[in-house]
Amino acid sequence: MILRIVATLILVCVWCGAQATQGSEALDRRLLVVDAERVHGHLAAAESMLAELQAALERTEGSGLQLAVALREHGLLRDDEARPEEAIAFYEHSLAIVQARPGAGPVMKALLLADLAGSHADSGEGDVALSLSGEALTLLQGAAERTNPAYPAVLYAHGVALHRLGRNAEALTELREALELWRQAADPDSPHVALAKEAIADCFSDLGYKNLAEAAEREALAIRASLGTPDSVGVAASLNNLGVILARAQRWSDGQQALERAVAILERFGDCEERRLATALGNLGALYYEQARLSAAFYAKAEAAYRRKLAMEEHMFGPSDVRISPTLEMLGEVLYRERAYNEAGRLYSRGVAIQTSAFGSTDPKTQAAAKRYSILAKKMKADAAR
């Protein structure tokens, strides 16, 4: 799975400037400080400062635009922490405040709709994301020039939504325009450019343009590395994405090197990057599993990666959450290859039971999982009889 880093300069200045007469300059400055802390990856500090600021805003101004900005920052923090499903409620609250105030212009509404679209896209809700980002684009058309900093942000969100729905050619058009606008407005090596490059690489990869995908992701990685330390979360995310692209091209050794480095970097951040680490471990486990076709020794590596991923997901989501089902199935597949039939059967069966409970027995996803388990059970029975 590709990882997306959204911790870029996300236009708090536009918001504060748009309503400077309605709030104190001191509060505006505090909002900008919070945004700077978040952008530089100091998420715990940003969250603590933001909680205090939100309390102050609720005491002094009720539901003013500055509170909407603070709520938006809460959403951005959740996105930065790879928790998009939690970000949605903050964006929706912020949007409700903005829409209720006649002084709020289309740019503010469009930005929030784009943020909301991005979180829905990262939560797997491509249709919702496309509707929201399309609404954001409509708001901006005729209301703002293409040079407005909101434009590339909204185009980027629309491109990501299209990509989530498999409409990669259309997505590329939007993402390339966003990239060009960001290049014209900012430093060519800005984090915005890296963000667009990563999304473009993902589209190229899905379209089968392996070399173009690799080149775009390597450009994003170089930008991420130049912006801060070589062991930042952004660098780890780019390395993960590069590893996925290389694995799809069956360049196993190069992909393994990139993914192992991504895992090593993310491990240093502890629980705050547990979600991204779990994703990178899943990608690494899949790569090991594919390499095991050539050397059975890789099954043990795949098992170790999936066991770590499962432990993290159980810690984050709980032992009965449907999000752990794919990991249970993959670990079951690996254990089957290692002839650990009893445990393989238990894990696979547990994954199917969780999906049945979540979606119902007639859901296509549940039926597909049950079919895979039935095939695996027959194989295990046949192997045991030999």
**What mean pLDDT value characterizes the chain?**
86
pLDDT of residue 184: 87
List CB contacts of 215: < 8 A, sequence separation 6 or more.
201
Average pLDDT over residues 188-193: 78
CB 267 within 8 A of CB 277: yes
Structural domain boundaries enclosing 363: 318-386
> Looking at the domain assignment, is residue 295 inside a domain?
no
Q: Say how many C-beta atoms besides its own lie within 10 A of residue 214's C-beta.
A: 20
Domain tally for the chain? 1
pLDDT of residue 60: 67
pLDDT of residue 28: 66
> Looking at the domain assignment, is residue 287 inside a domain?
no
> Looking at the domain assignment, is residue 352 inside a domain?
yes
> Looking at the domain assignment, is residue 380 inside a domain?
yes
Q: Give the three-class secondary structure for 340.
A: coil
> Looking at the domain assignment, is residue 34 inside a domain?
no
**pLDDT above 80: residue 229:** no
**pLDDT above 90: residue 46:** no
pTM recorded for the entire structure: 0.84
To 5 degrees, how large is the angle CA 303–CA 304–CA 306? 65
> Looking at the domain assignment, is residue 354 inside a domain?
yes
> Looking at the domain assignment, is residue 323 inside a domain?
yes
> Looking at the domain assignment, is residue 141 inside a domain?
no
